[in-house]
């Protein structure tokens, strides 16, 4: 298959290296990694199974390579390319360029044994980082606002610079947690508050993703066993936890993604909170924090061994509180295994 890639993670998957100014061509038995002279040393040291081509005009050089190769058809993911870059590569050639959305994600949907080991390590490191964050918040978090708490989360979760983060952490208190992708506010953490933290770190470029919602009392931990002072919050929390556990215990290879989604959605709906469950059950995780498979009510993707995705049901009541519990799972021997 002939194809061209621009996305950094897509390129890394193919040849073991990428940077912020490169593109990749795979033409028959040949592959080309094209970048500029700033990355000459690193590219020649790390790129595998591809010829390193140094040229300040990436698109122009790619066009020349394509014309010389005289290939009939080249696939590309339209989500990766700018109009200007794509036009420069494709103009003046008889090659047919076939758009294939999520081209790289489709190739990466089944993780190799090595990738599963890396993702498992990323998840374990993420869980360990949550323990360190609980200690940090217990000692220095009370009385601080969400901006400061988020700053502390970035520092602690990243191991003080040792690891990149999968995304900017979400740290939300009480009503702000009712926004699934909450941004920080001046709201300060006090004992007895509901606190939601959604975060992850990267290990060897692979992401982890985890969410915990806790009752922020003295010496709290980011575990799933939580006791809240208000009955409504406790009922919602117990519902989310049961939906989370139900999906993990019942997910099977061979099911459609929407059937896995139904394992959480039907349970939450029957508990009376269906109107407050406003997102899908989960998403794939790998080199990108969001990739295939998507565990949604609209997805007919067949779940297979080797897939890695999140289970993250939630209940969000505007103006009051939000609850989400999230873990990454891998499909192994037909069942979901928490990483």
Secondary-structure breakdown of the chain: helix, strand, coil percentages, each rounded to the nearest 5: 35, 25, 35
| Overall CATH class of domain 113-338 | alpha beta
Residues 126-141 as b or e (16 or more Cβ within 10 Å = b): bbebbeebbebbeeeb
Q: Return d(Cα 266, Cα 99) in angstroms, integer.
A: 36
The per-residue pLDDT for 66 is 92
The per-residue pLDDT for 160 is 85
The per-residue pLDDT for 94 is 84
Run of H or E residues at 85:
helix 83-90
Which residues contact residue 287 at a Cβ distance below 8 angstroms, ignoring those fewer than 6 apart? Answer: 9, 12, 13, 108, 205, 206, 207
Asked if 174 and 197 count as a contact pair (C-beta separation under 8 A), the reply is no
Q: Three-state DSSP class for 324? A: strand
What's the whole-model pTM score?
Answer: 0.94
Q: Return d(Cα 131, Cα 292) in angstroms, integer.
A: 29
Q: Return d(Cα 82, Cα 36) in angstroms, integer.
A: 18
The per-residue pLDDT for 225 is 96
Give me the residues paired with residue 328 across strands.
Answer: 310
- Comma-separated ranges of CATH 3.90.230.10 domains in the chain: 113-338
Q: Return d(Cα 139, Cα 158) in angstroms, integer.
A: 18
Extract the tokens encoding 105.
């994600």
DSSP character at residue 290: S
Stretches in the chain below the pLDDT threshold 50: none
Q: Within a 13 Å sphere around the CA of 32, how many CA atoms are in the beta-carbon half?
A: 21
The per-residue pLDDT for 92 is 79
- Comma-separated ranges of CATH 3.40.350.10 domains in the chain: 3-108
Residues 153-163 as b or e (16 or more Cβ within 10 Å = b): beebbbeeeeb
The per-residue pLDDT for 70 is 87
The residue among 311, 265, 304 whose CA lies nearest residue 285 is: 311
Q: Return d(Cα 97, Cα 95) in angstroms, integer.
A: 6
DSSP E strands in the chain: the ranges are 3-5, 22-27, 30-35, 51-54, 73-76, 96-99, 170-173, 193-199, 202-203, 206-207, 210-216, 282-284, 291-295, 308-311, 314-317, 321-324, 327-332, 335-338
* CA distances to 7, 154, 320 from 201, in Å: 20, 9, 29
The per-residue pLDDT for 93 is 82
The residue among 222, 209, 203, 121 whose CA lies nearest residue 162 is: 203
Query: 3-108, superfamily in CATH?
Result: Creatinase/prolidase N-terminal domain (3.40.350.10)
Extract the tokens encoding 72.
């009939």
The per-residue pLDDT for 125 is 97
């Amino acid at each position: 298959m002939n194809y061209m890639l621009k996305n950094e993670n897509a390129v890394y998957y193919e040849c073991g290296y990428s940077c912020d100014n490169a593109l990749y061509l795979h033409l028959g038995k040949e592959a080309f990694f094209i970048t500029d002279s700033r990355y000459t040393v690193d590219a020649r040291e790390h790129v595998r199974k591809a010829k390193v081509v140094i040229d300040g005009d990436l698109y122009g050089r790619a066009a020349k390579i394509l014309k010389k190769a005289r290939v009939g058809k080249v696939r590309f993911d339209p989500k990766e390319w700018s109009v200007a870059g794509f036009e420069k590569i494709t103009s003046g050639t008889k090659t047919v360029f076939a758009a294939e959305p999520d081209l790289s994600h489709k190739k990466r949907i089944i993780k190799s044994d090595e990738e599963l080991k890396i993702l498992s390590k990323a998840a374990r490191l993420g869980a360990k980082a949550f323990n360190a964050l609980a200690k940090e918040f217990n000692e220095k978090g009370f009385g601080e606002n969400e901006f400061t708490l988020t700053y502390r989360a970035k520092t602690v979760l990243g191991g003080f610079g040792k690891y990149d983060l999968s995304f900017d952490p979400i740290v939300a208190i009480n009503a702000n947690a009712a926004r699934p992708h909450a941004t920080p506010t001046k709201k300060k953490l006090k004992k007895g508050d509901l606190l939601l933290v959604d975060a992850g770190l990267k290990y060897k470029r692979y992401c982890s993703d985890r969410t915990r919602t806790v009752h922020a009392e003295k010496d709290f931990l980011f575990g799933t066993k939580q006791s809240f002072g208000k009955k409504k919050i406790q009922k919602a929390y117990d519902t989310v936890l049961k939906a989370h556990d139900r999906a993990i215990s019942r997910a099977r290879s061979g099911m459609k993604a929407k059937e896995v989604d139904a394992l959480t959605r039907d349970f939450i709906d029957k508990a009376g909170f269906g109107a407050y469950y406003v997102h899908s059950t989960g998403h794939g995780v790998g080199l990108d924090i969001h990739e295939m498979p998507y565990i949604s009510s609209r997805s007919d993707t067949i779940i297979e061994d080797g897939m890695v995705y999140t289970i993250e049901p939630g209940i969000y009541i505007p103006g009051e509180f939000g609850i989400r519990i999230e873990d990454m799972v891998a499909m192994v021997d037909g069942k979901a295994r928490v990483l």
